[in-house]
Structure 1
Amino acid sequence: MNRMQDRVVVVTGAAGGMGRAHCRRLAEEGADIIAVDLPDADLAGTAREVESAGRRCVTGVADVTEQQALDAAVTAGVDRLGRLDAVVANAGVYADLALSWELPDTAWQRALDINLTGVWHTVRAGIPHLGAGGSIVVVGSTNGVRGGLSAAHYSASKHAVVGLARTVANELGAQRIRVNTVHPGSVATSMILNDTVYAALRPDLPNPTQEDAARVLAARNILPVPWVDPVDVSNAVLFLASDESRYVTGIELVVDAGLTQKV
Structure 2
Amino acid sequence: MRDEGTRLGARRLEGKVAFVTGAAGGLGRSHVRRMAEEGADLVVVDICRSVDTVPYPLSTPEELDDAVEEVRALGRRVVARQTDVRDRAALQAAYDAGLDEFGQIDIVVANAGIAPLLVEDRVQAWHDALDVNLTGTFHTVEVAIPSMVAAERGGSIVIVSSTAGLVGIGGASNGGLGYAASKHGAVGLMRTYANNLAPHSIRVNSVHPTGVATPMVTDPAIVEFVAQDPILSETAPNALPVAVVEAVDVSNAVLWLASDEARYVTGVTLPVDAGFINRR
- TM-score after normalising by structure 1: 0.91
Secondary structure of 2:98's aligned partner? helix
Which residue identity does 1:10 align to in structure 2? F
Deviation at residue 48 of structure 1 after TM alignment? 1.2
Identity of aligned residues (%): 50
Structure 2: gaps (5+ residues): 1-9, 50-59
Give the match for residue 221 of structure 2: 196
Deviation of 1:203 (Å): 4.7
Question: Distance between the aligned counterparts of 2:157 and 2:181, measured in 1?
Answer: 21
Does structure 1 retain, via aligned residues, the 8 Å contact 2:164–2:170? no
Cα offset, 1:83, TM superposition: 0.9
What's the CA shift for 1:197? 1.8
2:145 paired with 1:119:
no
Return the letter of the residue paired with 2:214.
Answer: T
49-58 vs 222-231, which deviates more?
49-58
Q: How does 1:98-117 map to 2 (within 5 A)?
A: 98=119, 103-117=121-135
Which residue type is aligned with residue 80 of structure 2? T
Q: Report whether the alignment pairs 1:25 with 2:34.
A: yes
Flag the 1:218–1:84 CA change in 2: closer, same or farther, 3 A. farther
| Runs of at least 4 residues off by over 4 Å | 215-218
Question: Which deviations, in whole Å up to 9, do the C-alpha atoms of 1:104-153 show, x marking residues without a partner?
Answer: 21000000000000000000111122143211000000000001142211
Matched, 1:229 2:246: yes
Task: Indicate the residue corresponding to 2:193 in structure 1.
Answer: 168
Which residue in 1 is equivalent to 2:82?
61
8 Å CA contact retained: 1:60, 1:77 = no
Query: 2: distance between equivalents of 1:147 and 1:190?
Result: 23
Equivalent-residue separation in structure 1 for 2:48 and 2:112 (angstroms): 14
Distance 1:203 1:38, change over 3 A: closer
Q: What is the root-mean-square deviation in Å for CA atoms of aligned residues? A: 1.7
In the alignment, is residue 240 of structure 1 matched against residue 249 of structure 2? no
Aligned residues, how many? 250
**Separation in 1 of the partners of 2:235 and 2:14?**
37
Shift of 1:61: 2.0
Query: CA shift at 1:50, angstroms?
Result: 1.0
* CA–CA separation in structure 2 for the residues paired with 1:248 and 1:166: 12
Q: Structure 1: which amino acid aligns with 2:246?
A: D
Match of 1:182, SS?
strand
Q: Does 1:157 align with 2:175?
A: no
C-alpha distance in structure 2 between counterparts of 1:149 and 1:20, whole Å = 24
* 1:5-16 alignment runs, 5 A limit: 5-16=14-25
Q: Distance in 1 between matches of 2:215 and 2:194?
A: 31
What letter is aligned with 1:163? G
2:110 corresponds, among 89, 94, 113, to: 89
Q: Who is 1:210 aligned against?
A: none
- Structure 1 contact 217–226 (Cα < 8 Å) conserved: no
Question: Is contact 1:184–1:254 with CA below 8 Å preserved after alignment?
Answer: yes
**What amino acid does structure 2 have at the position aligned with 1:122?**
T
CA contact (8 A) 1:139 1:183 kept: yes
SS of match in other structure, 2:158? strand
Seen in structure 2, the aligned counterparts of structure 1 residues 149 and 137 have a Cα distance that, compared at 3 Å, is: closer
Secondary structure of the 1:201 match is: helix
Give the one of 68, 81, 88 matched to 1:47: 68
TM-score w.r.t. the length of structure 2 is 0.85
Q: Does 1:35 align with 2:60?
A: no
Q: Secondary structure at the match of 1:135?
A: strand
Distance 1:181 1:152 in 2: 20
